[in-house]
Amino acid sequence: MATVLRKSQQLTVGSPKKTSNWSGMATGVYTLWLKHMRKFRSSSMELGGTLATPILWMLLFGVCMEGMVKELNLGMSYQAYITPGIMLLTSLTAAVLGGATLMIERINGVIKEYLVAPIPRLAVLLGTMASGLTKAIIQAVVVLLMSFVLGVTLHADFSGVLIGFLLVGVYSLGFVGIAAAVACQSKSMESYHTLIMLMNLPVLFLSNAIYPLHEMPAQLRVLAYINPTTYAADAIRGLFFGGQLEIGLWIDIPVLLAFMVAGLWYGFRSFQKTVANPVG
């Protein structure tokens, strides 16, 4: 045993620096994040594709509904009213696409390059989550800027905007976790895309994203209360546009944090189960 140890030491002389687990983790997470962001930048499809839906929502739906909902007394323009929901929908889609990255890399084998590299395996998950989160925030910002073009104005100070975007991040991370979990288990791209389609519309409709909770039928309102989008839209509406909160930040924030923890935990557990036996 002693000779074996000595041999190991000789062999590492001059080899890449012996790194602690944490430093390997940081390297791994950053490198994967960097790679995914480079891919994101080089693929106009991903950016354009995710932004097309919110643009249509805001231009067509928002503009048309504007005139019809005057009597609802929302305390802000309808365009402003739906902006938080559209932002959330966009970041949700970005988060789910981030999960798709993990799945594509798992199915086509790219993940093997990471798994034989001297980085902890968890770094693969965290790197993917980090890039998914970054994409989600970037797109949420783009949607907000677009709403300005459509005449929406902010009623918030800097800290309000900051907390608002933090909440977009918290909300996105919850879905990044769920997306990663599904990505670890899906057998094919098709099943994954079906899931995105199934998730998108209910998340929007079964929430207060495009109409106030008190206007909803009671049964649907119950469903809206299980939807994290409801809490995120409520909080952001208040933080960005100074609107009257239907629920209140003291409930919104803990619920969103709990959702994030649950989503991340689900993603983590699923990753740990499948990563021990990668495809192939």
Contact positions toward other proteins, by CB under 8 A? 4, 7-8, 10-17, 19, 23-24, 27-28, 30-31, 34-35, 38-39, 42-43, 108-110, 112-119, 276-278, 280
Q: If we measure between CA atoms, which residue out of 237, 248, 219, 224 comes closest to residue 160?
A: 237
CB of 35 to other proteins, least distance (A): 5
CB of 60 to other proteins, least distance (A): 31
Residue closer to other proteins (CB basis): 108 or 244? 108
C-alpha pair distances (Å), 17 with each of 11, 12, 70, 120, 215: 12, 8, 65, 15, 62
CB of 5 to other proteins, least distance (A): 9
Residue closer to other proteins (CB basis): 117 or 163? 117
CB of 174 to other proteins, least distance (A): 27
CA distance 207 to 212: 8
Query: Helices (DSSP H) in the chain: which residue ranges?
Result: 2-12, 21-42, 44-56, 63-66, 78-108, 111-115, 122-149, 158-185, 189-205, 218-226, 228-241, 249-275
Q: Indicate the DSSP class of residue 120.
A: -
CB of 184 to other proteins, least distance (A): 16
Residue closer to other proteins (CB basis): 10 or 219? 10
- Asked if residues 243 and 160 have their Cβ atoms less than 8 Å apart, the reply is no
CA distance 147 to 143: 6
Residue closer to other proteins (CB basis): 15 or 73? 15
Residue closer to other proteins (CB basis): 101 or 172? 101
